[in-house]
Amino acid sequence: MDLVDQSEVSAKFIRVEANRCVSCGLCLPHCPTYRLTMSEADSPRGRIQMMNGVASGHIPLNKKFVQHMDRCLTCRACESVCPNNVVYGQLIDEARAMIIASPVTIKSSTLAKKNKLRVFLEKELIAKPGRLDVLRSPIRLSQKIGLQQWLQQLNFLKKTKIQSLISQLPPVMEPCASTIDQKTSAVGWEETYPAIGKQRGEVGLFLGCVARLADAVTINSAIYVLNRLGYKVHVPSAQTCCGAIHQHGGDVVMGALLTRQNLQVFETLNIHTIITTASGCGVQLKEGNVGQTNMASEHNDETGFTLTITDVSRFLVTAEGWDDVEIASLPCQVAVHDPCSLSNVLHGQSYPYILLARIPSLRISSLAGNDQCCGAAGTYFFDQPEMASKLQADKLSAVKQSKARYIATSNIGCSMYIASGLQTTDVEVLHPVTLLARQMGIQ
């Protein structure tokens, strides 16, 4: 599909779906950007009207329009309160697709300002994340010798996007071996991890792109817990990026293509369920393969895919085998952060709390302000640093007030962004399954 065709497809969808918005305004107080700017143009209702105007040819696709589309976090809090169930998430994706397909150069656009290096990285590294495994060893070495910390202190890098990325990279860990002990595989994860004891089922585990490099600890923890509950875990090496970065950057065709590639890989296995450890990836796998026709939440006969896609906490809450494992007590306070993708789209925000409750003596609370985005929002923190930092500040304030030792969150983007603001504290940000795995004895 060329750019002209893409623009026409996006505009057609926008005209139809935007007319379903009744402009009631119930979404306004739930929108993070509206709460910051108090501008109608930075509200879901205002953006929808502008999208419709551009798609219908009544208003120009100009810099102001692009600015307000760029500012949207795609947190989709508006969807959770919309009485008419307008699919705002797809609307904003299609609006961005319409922008990058426009023959008019919008120099102020975040989408248009992507340099050649970033475009290359998204195409050749993010979309082919197996290559990220090759970077694991050199990055681990740079962290061990203090190179990462040294780069953070360089004056010419301070307050730059490069420094922002460097500061968020947590300690990089190695993939676990099939024996789930202290040995590690050379480059990536193994194809299968056998159940410990009686096998109760087989599942697939989705790695993602950023998570496979920056959040191996969570992936290892998920494998550890699943194996000990009696589940054989498949980790196919042919899987790739979920496509969310491309989807939300306006390349909805590439986003859908990557999602379908992943589902095709997992369809060949003897499984019924794909488990994700990052809620953002879970949303894309559930919705991205449907493309521009129907943002259904399940894969059915219409799309050709029948696998269930579920967040790891949700799966573990209903899993069998808990009577066969021991969980050590942890007399500490943990505050749970609800990622937007988990609460607003997957509606699975209750499961991390239930899962953590299996840890004896653990005191669990909800992080204040859980109805608002943390500001990470994929690459939003990178593209809109001023808006993102204001939202991050609210989260850091909530963390301080919680007096919690741990912050549990179910999305790698949220985890890295919140943790980057807590580096001088003793608060640890981690996935719920990681904390559980520790109490079950993972080394």
pLDDT of 395 over the 80 cut: yes
Residues 6+ apart with CB under 8 A from 309: 273, 274, 276, 282, 285, 286, 299
Cβ atoms within 10 Å of 404's Cβ, excluding its own: 21
**pLDDT band at residue 174 using 50, 70 and 90 as cut-offs:** confident
Structure tokens at 68: 């307000």
Distance CA 239, CA 265 (A): 6
Q: What is the CATH number of domain 192-318?
A: 1.20.1050.140
Distance CA 140, CA 163 (A): 18
Most confident residue range from 148-157, 184-193, 281-290, 340-349? 340-349
Distances 186 to 126, 177, 189, 220, 221 between C-alpha atoms, Å = 21, 9, 9, 15, 18
Please state which architecture CATH assigns to domain 3-101: Orthogonal Bundle (1.10)
**pLDDT band at residue 130 using 50, 70 and 90 as cut-offs:** confident
Distance CA 227, CA 369 (A): 35
Q: What is the DSSP string of 107-174?
A: TT-TTTT--HHHHHHIIIIISSGGGHHHHHHHHHHHHHTTHHHHHHH-GGGTTSHHHHHHHH-----P
For residue 315, the one-letter residue type is: F
pLDDT of 167 over the 60 cut: yes
pLDDT of residue 191: 95
Cα-Cα-Cα-Cα dihedral sign, residues 77, 414, 50, 20: negative
* Of 115-119, 297-301, 346-350, minimum mean pLDDT range: 297-301
Residue 205, classed as helix, strand or coil, is: strand
pLDDT of 302 over the 50 cut: no
Provide the 8-state DSSP code for 342.
I
The residue assigned the tokens 């970065």 is: 245
Strands 406-409 and 333-337, sheet pairing: parallel
∠ Cα 272 200 191 (to 5°): 60
Question: In this structure, what is the dihedral angle of CA atoms 386, 387, 389, 393, given to the nearest 10 degrees?
Answer: 140
The mean per-residue pLDDT over the stretch 327-351 comes to 97
pLDDT of 142 over the 70 cut: yes
pLDDT of residue 166: 67
Residue 99, classed as helix, strand or coil, is: helix
∠ Cα 420 421 427 (to 5°): 90
* Of 143-147, 416-420, 439-443, minimum mean pLDDT range: 143-147
pTM score of the predicted model: 0.89
pLDDT of residue 8: 82
Q: What are phi and psi of 255, to 5 degrees?
A: -60, -45
Q: What are phi and psi of 249, to 5 degrees?
A: -90, 5
Query: Taking all residues of the chain, what is their mean pLDDT, rounded to a whole number?
Result: 87
The pLDDT tens digits of the residues spanning 399-431 come to: 999 999 999 999 999 999 999 999 889 999 999
Of 349, 351, 400, 348, nearest to 370 (Cα)? 349
Residue 78, classed as helix, strand or coil, is: coil
**End-to-end CA, the chain:** 49
Contact assessment for residue 111 and residue 100, using Cβ atoms and an 8 Å cutoff: yes
Domain boundaries, the chain: 3-101, 116-168, 192-318, 327-439
Q: What CATH fold (topology level) applies to the domain 327-439?
A: Rossmann fold (3.40.50)
Burial class of residue 364, CB neighbours in 10 A (0-12, 13-18, 19+): buried
∠ Cα 367 344 34 (to 5°): 80
For residue 233, the one-letter residue type is: V
∠ Cα 22 28 32 (to 5°): 140
Distance CA 353, CA 410 (A): 11
Phi-psi category of residue 321: left, alpha or beta, with phi > 0 → left and psi -120 to 50 → alpha: left
Contact assessment for residue 225 and residue 205, using Cβ atoms and an 8 Å cutoff: no
pLDDT of residue 113: 55
Structure tokens at 232: 């054989």
The pLDDT tens digits of the residues spanning 200-222 come to: 999 999 999 888 888 999 999 99
What is the share, in percent, of the chain residues with pLDDT greater than 70? Answer: 85
Residue 296, classed as helix, strand or coil, is: coil
The mean per-residue pLDDT over the stretch 355-361 comes to 98
pLDDT of residue 169: 74
Structure tokens at 176: 């676990």
